């Protein structure tokens, strides 16, 4: 029987995690959340009476996807699906609320990793897959805006991307040619963030068995998925079978069988809000799956780690070393988990992965003496590799 995880937050024994949630919430640090934008949902702390909570910086975010729409430059979505056949098949307009609830959820139905964290949302597309009308440069536009703030983000969460050059999935189904990789301005923005010491956490994707962009860029933190928390015997890889390129993945986190916020726009225009683990007959996605939900767990963990070790991290003169110090701490603190290679595989068909362990991560000080390797700049050409 599948167990739906309704609480991604700390257990009673995970005191460092609990303490650091307060440290992060009281700091000026913020997470850039690049996704489809937001709509009002109680999972994020929104209420009819008070509106948006102070920690969600709506007015400081940006809509780089359709600023001519009903909300202008504000990073909000009206939950409508538009465009051609491919666009309609790939658009998931509530995706931003789904993924942000993994970070900020603070309700009985679902609790996220770091409730109260300051977040600046960005609307870069109307769904997580960049095909059809979606422009891969939009991530770069959003990232550049965030990096240009007087107080830039310490962490970026991106649960969207391009599957790359493989002619698969919808590209095959609909016969549409999509530009592989990311446009130059996105690649340049990722390079800029790395040099500034900004940690970018990206979903590995599951459209096919290769890691999607921008997670493929080694200057980011690439996140794979598990079907259950790593402590469960039934835990398997998500996507089923893995990528075939596990060396590109820095850490794995739960990507299936968890609750999260969701919403749709009814035919009569009414905004319907609910959670995945709901008996609402309008809820057609009762079993949310995707590395989209794994990546924000790691982004929240990164923000917590930076908040806890801020003083030590400021000793790095070369800011890119902050990213590499986090990568080192993330990998070394992770649980060495043996998970099923495929969901229905036999008990002997297992693979070792690094499963996210937030309490252990927070206990790990930045290594200020390590001989870190500076990852070479990515180029527009390298996005094809």
pTM: 0.94
Q: Average pLDDT of 58-66? A: 97
Q: Is the pLDDT higher at 131 or at 189? A: 189
Residue 74 has pLDDT above 90, yes or no: yes
As a three-state string, the secondary structure of the chain is CCCCECECCCCCCCHHHHHHHHHHHCCCCEEEEEEECECCCHHHCCECCCECCCCECHHHCEECCCCCCCCCCCCECCCCCCCCHHHHHHCCCCHHHHHHHHHHCECCCCECCCCCCEEEEEECCCCCECCCCCCCHHHHHHHHHHHCCCCCCCEEEECCEECCCCCCHHHHHHCCCCCCCCCHHHHHHHHHHHHHCCEEEEECCCCCCCCCECCCCCCCEEEEEECCCCCCCCCEEECCCCCCCHHHCCEEEECECECCEEEEECCCCCEEEEECCCCCCCCCCCCCECCCCHHHHHHHHHHHHHHHCHHHHCCCCCCHHHHHHHHHHHHHHCEEEEEECCCCCCCCCEEEEEECCHHHHHCCCCCCCCCCCCCCCCCCHHHHC
Q: Taking the CA atoms of 239, 240, 246 and 249 in sequence, report the sign of the dihedral they define.
A: positive
Taking residues 168-180, report their average pLDDT.
45
Give me the residue spans of the domains in the chain. Answer: 20-228+246-336+356-384
pLDDT score at 276: 86
The span from the CA of 112 to the CA of 308, in Å, is 18
- CA-based R_g, the chain, Å: 19
CATH class of the region 20-228+246-336+356-384:
alpha beta
Residues in the chain: 385
Confidence of residue 282 (pLDDT cuts 50, 70, 90): low
pLDDT of residue 169: 41
Strongest mean pLDDT among 132-136, 160-164, 207-211, 308-312: 308-312
- How many beta carbons lie within 10 A of that of residue 44, not counting itself? 27
Contact assessment for residue 35 and residue 100, using Cβ atoms and an 8 Å cutoff: yes
Lowest mean pLDDT, pick from 80-89, 99-108, 326-335: 80-89
Compute the C-alpha angle 362/365/370, nearest 5°. 135
Residue 381 in this model has a pLDDT that exceeds 80: no
Sign of the torsion formed by the C-alpha atoms of 234, 235, 238 and 243: negative
Task: Spell out the residues 6+ positions from residue 268 whose beta carbon is closer than 8 angstroms to its own.
Answer: none
For tokens 């596990």, name the residue.
Answer: 246
């Amino acid at each position: 029987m599948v167990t739906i995880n309704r609480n991604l937050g700390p257990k009673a024994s995970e005191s460092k995690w609990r303490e650091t949630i307060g440290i992060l919430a009281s700091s000026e640090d913020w997470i850039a959340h690049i996704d489809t934008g937001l709509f009002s949902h109680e999972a994020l702390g929104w209420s009819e009476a008070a509106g948006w909570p102070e920690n969600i910086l709506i007015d400081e975010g940006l809509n780089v996807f359709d600023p001519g729409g009903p909300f202008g430059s504000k990073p909000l979505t009206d939950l409508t699906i538009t465009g051609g056949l491919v666009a309609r098949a790939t658009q998931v307009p509530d995706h931003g609320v789904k993924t942000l609830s993994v970070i900020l959820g603070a309700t009985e139905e679902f609790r996220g990793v770091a409730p109260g964290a300051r977040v600046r949302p960005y609307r870069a597309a109307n769904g997580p897959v960049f095909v059809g009308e979606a422009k891969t440069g939009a991530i770069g536009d959003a990232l550049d805006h965030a990096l240009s703030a007087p107080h830039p983000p310490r962490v970026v969460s991106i649960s969207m991307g391009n599957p790359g050059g493989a002619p698969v999935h919808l590209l095959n189904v609909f016969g549409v040619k999509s530009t592989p990789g990311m446009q130059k301005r996105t690649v340049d923005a990722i390079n800029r963030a790395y040099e500034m010491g900004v940690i970018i956490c990206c979903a590995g994707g599951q459209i096919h068995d290769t890691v999607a962009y921008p997670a493929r860029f080694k200057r980011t933190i690439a996140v794979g998925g598990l079907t259950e928390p790593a402590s469960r015997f039934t835990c398997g890889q998500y996507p089923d079978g893995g990528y075939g390129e596990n060396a590109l993945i820095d850490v794995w986190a739960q990507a299936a069988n968890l609750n999260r916020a969701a919403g749709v726009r009814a035919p009569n225009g009414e905004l319907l809000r609910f959670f995945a683990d709901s008996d609402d007959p309008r809820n057609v996605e009762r079993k949310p799956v995707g590395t989209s939900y794994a990546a924000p767990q790691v982004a929240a963990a990164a923000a917590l780690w930076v908040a806890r070790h801020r003083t030590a991290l400021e000793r790095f003169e070369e800011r890119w070393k902050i990213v590499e110090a986090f990568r080192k701490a993330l990998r070394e603190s992770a649980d060495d988990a043996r998970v099923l290679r495929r969901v229905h595989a036999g008990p002997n068909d297992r693979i070792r992965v690094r499963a996210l362990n937030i309490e252990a991560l927070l206990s790990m000080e930045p290594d200020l003496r390590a001989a870190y390797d500076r990852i070479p700049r990515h180029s527009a050409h390298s996005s094809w590799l």
